[in-house]
Amino acid sequence: MNGKYCLYLRKSRADRDAEARGEGETLARHEQTLRALAGKMGIEISAVYKEIVSGETIYSRPEITKLLHEVENGIWDGVIVMEIERLARGATIDQGIVAQAFQLSGTKIITPLKTYDPENEFDEEYFEFGLFMSRREYKTINRRIQNGRKAAANEGRYIASVAPLGYRRIKLKNDKGWSLEIIPGQAEIIRLVFDLYVNGQRNPDGSRSKTGTSKICQILDNLNIKPVSGGKWSPASIRDILHNPVYTGKIRWGYIKYEKLTQNGSVTTKRIKNNNCIISQGLHKAIIDEETFNKAQELLKLHRKLSIPSGKKLKNPLAGLVYCKKCGHLMTRLAPSSKTQYAALKCPGRYCDNISAPVGIIEEKIIYSLEIWLADYKLNIQKNEIKNISKTYKNSYTTLEKEAVTLKSQYEKTFDLLERGIYDDKTFLDRNKLIKSKIEECNMAMDKLMELEKKEKHMLSVENNFIPVVKNIVDGYGTIKDISMKNKLLKAIIKRIEYIKETKNTRGKRDNDNFSLIIYPIIPYKNNIRI
């Protein structure tokens, strides 16, 4: 048979299930079958298109997209495929695109059962009918599979293909489906994450400091504990752990939904969280108790990220606060666009290479940094609380009092020694003047000590009164929707923030806070916050 012909190979869901049962690699078997068919028909194959990527639409499958473009341009006389369903089994619009490409170009479709000639009216109708029936079959199979997964989830079976950190997937004995088994070493990591977030980091004196997701990342990295993917921990991965009810022995299914949107004539998919997902009692053992998990959820709600409200005059909560560490420019807000769906903070310096980051992520890191700093600051104040200050000054004052009594006694003895003739006039005057000077110095030191004690008590009282103000700002920040109010509150406790980021985030890791901040708080403290 004369002309240019190619092969198109793609796996179906049934093929993937067959491979799982050990029936061999599908594409290799199909290619062998189709090459044998081409040999019988005297067809020379010029190209082979192997669809490796699985996608519901033709736009998500690069090989079929490329093939259709070539078909439309009349490059191929025929395409050899196992079934017409392999070309399009998704949405009706995709089937229409495929049918139109082959019909207008007159390209044949050759399968082991039948050759479809688009110039033949009967074949054309049969082809369109075949695509329609394959779509119905696809929807029926997909509905059956989803119903089966829901039923399995409600029965406590683990449906996902990858187990979360802390568990491994295990096949249920004498039953269908899978469950989870605890991996002791990884489970300890999960317990540590929840303990740090709920109870805080333990200090040397036994007290606890509040610990946010950014700080937990630092602690895990410092302990050389690696996430499953390797590299460094990110706050997003910690939040995923804290949100996952699987660790309490539950099964969660359908938490992430995929919503289709049309943009510029093409269909895109958006991942959204489904608050009405299935939560059922699982067959596996829990790593975290319900009480600890619920406490974590309360804290997560308190510190949730908020979207920037529209219609406000001020849209940047960090306005006038964040400066570029490289060039010193005040950083500005970059509004969301078609490329970036979030507001970012960037340096306006023309030649500055400081990398931008999402405003929400920077805000989150600032608040968590303030939480950590506030706990440490509070601990330092507790070490120097008023009763300790009073005790320290009292000890010093008592020592000076004793010294003053001794000096007064020595001063009085000088007169006695003069009367007894032991001191002559000159010795008496010199000795009397020296002791009198020491008494005056001692009295001045005692007065100064009382003044310092009073001043330090006042400063500590001011700081202790200011701590609740700062704590209220930090704790309540996540509930505030007014951008202007957020900005005012931050400026009430922060003088300046310096920002630097030198490594770009890789795809899918936008929430990775791989930037550094130096925060200059207004509250008196010996160190600034570096994180």
pLDDT of residue 19: 52
Residue type, 44: E
In the beta sheet, which residues pair with residue 494?
A: 521
Mean pLDDT over the full length of the chain? 80
**360-388 mean pLDDT:** 73
Quick check: 157 pLDDT over 80? yes
Q: What is the dihedral of CA 130, 134, 136, 139, to 10 degrees?
A: -170
Give per-residue pLDDT as tens, 266-282: 556 666 777 778 889 99
| Average pLDDT of the residues in 341-366 | 88
pLDDT score recorded for residue 22: 47
State how far the Cα of 503 lies from the Cα of 507, in Å rounded to an integer. 13
pLDDT at 307: 40
In the numeric block, which tokens belong to residue 336? 């969301």
Per cent of the chain over pLDDT 90 is 22
Parallel, antiparallel or unpaired: strands 250-253 and 208-209: unpaired
Q: What SS3 class is residue 252?
A: strand
Q: What is the pLDDT of residue 2?
A: 78
Q: What confidence score (pLDDT) does residue 386 get? A: 46
Position 397 scores a pLDDT of 72
Q: Are 227 and 165 in contact (CB under 8 A)?
A: yes
Residue 525 confidence (pLDDT): 45
d(CA 432, CA 410): 9
- 92-105 and 62-72 helices, crossing angle to 10°: 30
Three-state secondary-structure class, residue 367: helix
Q: Which amino acid is at 119?
A: E
Confidence (pLDDT) at 174: 84
What local confidence, expressed as pLDDT, does residue 378 receive? 65
Mean pLDDT, residues 426-441 taken together: 84
Q: Pairing between strand 78-80 and 5-10? A: parallel
Q: Is the pLDDT of residue 241 over 60?
A: yes
The predicted structure's pLDDT at residue 138: 65
CA nearest neighbour of 158 among 236, 245, 258, 238: 245
Task: Give 245's pLDDT tier (boundaries 50, 70, 90).
Answer: very high
Helix (H) / strand (E) containing 13: helix 13-20
In a 3-state reduction of DSSP, which class is residue 477?
A: helix
To 10 degrees, the CA torsion angle through 150, 156, 160, 161?
Answer: -130
- pLDDT of residue 57 exceeding 50, the answer is yes
By CB atoms closer than 10 A (0-12, 13-18, 19+), residue 324 is buried
Token pair, residue 6, equals 């190619």
- Count CB atoms within 10 A of the CB of residue 254: 15
Burial 459-485 (b: 16+ CB within 10 A, else e): ebeebeeeeeebbebbbebbeeeebee
Higher-confidence position of 387 and 136: 136
Cα dihedral 352, 363, 341, 312 sign? negative
pLDDT tier for residue 168 given thresholds of 50, 70 and 90: very high
| Pairwise CA distance, residues 481 & 126, whole Å | 59
Report the half-sphere exposure of 385 (CA within 13 A, side-chain side). 7
Residue 406 has which token pair? 């001794």
pLDDT of residue 170: 92
Burial class (CB in 10 A: 0-12, 13-18, 19+), 60: middle
pLDDT tens-place string over residues 275-305: 778 889 999 999 999 999 999 988 887 665 4
User: CA-to-CA distance for 418 and 426, rounded, in angstroms?
Assistant: 10
**What is the identity of the amino acid at 113?**
L
Note the pLDDT of residue 390: 53
